């Protein structure tokens, strides 16, 4: 999919090439951007697994303004897979836009997000759906990858570890995989957060943190992760930076005290300690920098309390 840099609604027209199903239980949202070499194989794998499961389903295959023959491949195989609906974007919107619109248009009670690059074990989609079906208290099941096969592996592994630990610290939850692209969730539970999704890759981080910050039950299931087919759209430095910003943004949106109050208390404590030191070294004289530290801590603390008041009065958490 395109990176986070592409913005906009991205939807000029929707090509619903086949009639929709009456009452699918599962909707699978499949973003496709320049996947001509393997998109047919991915559709076949998904449909074969779902047909064998017995679940009624629909597959929303989004061609996100691909510059290759992805759309043509989807149209070629469409008669073979009546459960598939093709949605064509005339402007590239990014995977987040695809997943947001796909979830909003979904007819199924359970929505599945995955990718079309052959990296995720999509034959296990019925397993994720079954877990949600059997455990009604669960709202989301995520495939937690047991290995890293992406590009820039030497930088990517420690960066993802740091971002995951930061998100875990801010949400008070042990997160095995923060940005897995394979997940199933209850559409009704996810709809309030769709407006928060960014257009690019960090949409999966957003939906994870939104669920965790609002006390939705999330289950992680270990999955194998294969090397993707085709060219990766991930840009390490730009996308890693956006992941960090998105983690902080989402926690600030739902629990600003968690981000701001530790900083405020640290500065206030540092200022008090520095003030005591100043009085011992220079009686009746407090340095200007000590006053600045104390005032800064008090300002940030006040901002934290005000932000928390706004969150609690917003009525959507």
**pLDDT for position 255:** 85
- Taking the C-alpha atoms of residue 310 and residue 306, their distance in angstroms, rounded to an integer, is 6
Look at residue 7 and tell me whether its pLDDT is greater than 50.
Answer: no
Q: What is the pLDDT of residues 247-263, one digit of tens each?
A: 788 888 888 998 899 99
Share of the chain above pLDDT 90, in %: 60
**pLDDT for position 23:** 87
Phi, psi of 228, rounded to the nearest 5 degrees: -70, 155
Q: What is the pLDDT of residues 161-199, one digit of tens each?
A: 777 888 888 788 889 998 899 999 999 999 999 998 888
pLDDT, the chain, mean = 86
Superfamily of the domain at 26-254: Spore Coat Polysaccharide Biosynthesis Protein SpsA; Chain A (3.90.550.10)
The pLDDT-based confidence of 283 (bands split at 50, 70, 90) is confident
Q: Which residue from 229, 210, 227, 201 is spatially nearest to 170, judged by alpha carbons?
A: 210
The pLDDT-based confidence of 295 (bands split at 50, 70, 90) is very high
- Give the pTM: 0.78
The region of weakest confidence among 42-56, 58-72, 247-261 is 247-261
Mean pLDDT, rounded, for 55-66 = 96
**Which alpha helices (H) appear in the chain, and where do they start and end?**
39-53, 70-77, 95-105, 125-134, 153-171, 187-190, 203-213, 236-254, 256-281, 288-314
Q: What is the pLDDT of residues 211-245, one digit of tens each?
A: 998 899 999 999 998 876 656 555 656 666 777 78
Q: Which residue has the higher pLDDT, 202 or 154?
A: 202
Provide CB contacts within 8 A for 33, sequence distance 6+.
1, 2, 63, 64, 65, 66, 70, 92, 95, 233
Could you tell me the residue ranges of all domains in the chain? 26-254, 256-314
**pLDDT for position 238:** 65
The pLDDT-based confidence of 13 (bands split at 50, 70, 90) is very low
Report helix, strand or coil for 57. Answer: strand
Share of the chain above pLDDT 70, in %: 84
DSSP codes of every residue in 150-171: SSSHHHHHHHHHHHHHHHHHHH
Q: Which residue has the higher pLDDT, 273 or 172?
A: 273
């Amino acid at each position: 999919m395109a990176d986070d840099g592409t913005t906009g609604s991205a939807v000029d027209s929707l090509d619903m090439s086949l009639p929709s199903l009456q009452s699918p239980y599962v909707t699978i949202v499949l973003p496709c951007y320049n996947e001509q070499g393997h998109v047919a194989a991915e559709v076949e794998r998904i449909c074969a697994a779902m047909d064998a499961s017995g679940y009624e389903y629909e597959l929303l295959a989004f061609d996100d303004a691909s510059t290759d023959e992805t759309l043509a491949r989807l149209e070629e195989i469409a008669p073979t897979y009546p459960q598939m609906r093709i949605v064509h974007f005339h402007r590239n919107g990014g995977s987040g836009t695809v997943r947001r619109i796909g979830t909003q248009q979904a007819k199924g009670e359970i929505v599945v997000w995955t990718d079309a690059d052959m990296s995720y074990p999509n034959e296990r989609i019925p397993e994720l759906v079954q877990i949600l079906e059997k455990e009604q208290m669960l709202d989301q099941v995520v495939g937690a990858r047991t290995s890293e096969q992406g590009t820039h592996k030497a930088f990517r592994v420690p960066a993802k570890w740091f971002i995951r630990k930061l998100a875990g610290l801010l949400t008070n939850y042990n997160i095995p995989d923060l940005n897995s692209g394979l997940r199933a969730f209850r559409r009704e539970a996810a709809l309030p957060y769709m407006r928060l999704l960014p257009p690019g890759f960090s949409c999966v981080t957003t939906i994870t943190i939104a669920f965790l910050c609002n006390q939705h039950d999330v289950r992680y299931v270990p999955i194998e992760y294969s090397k993707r087919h085709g060219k990766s759209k991930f840009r390490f430095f730009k996308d890693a930076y956006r992941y960090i910003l998105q983690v902080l943004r989402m926690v600030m949106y739902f629990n600003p005290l968690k981000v701001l109050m530790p900083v405020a208390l640290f500065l206030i404590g540092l200022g008090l300690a520095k003030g005591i030191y100043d009085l011992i070294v220079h009686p009746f004289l407090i340095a200007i920098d000590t006053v600045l530290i104390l005032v800064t801590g008090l300002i940030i603390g006040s901002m934290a309390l005000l932000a928390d008041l706004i969150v609690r009065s917003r009525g959507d958490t």
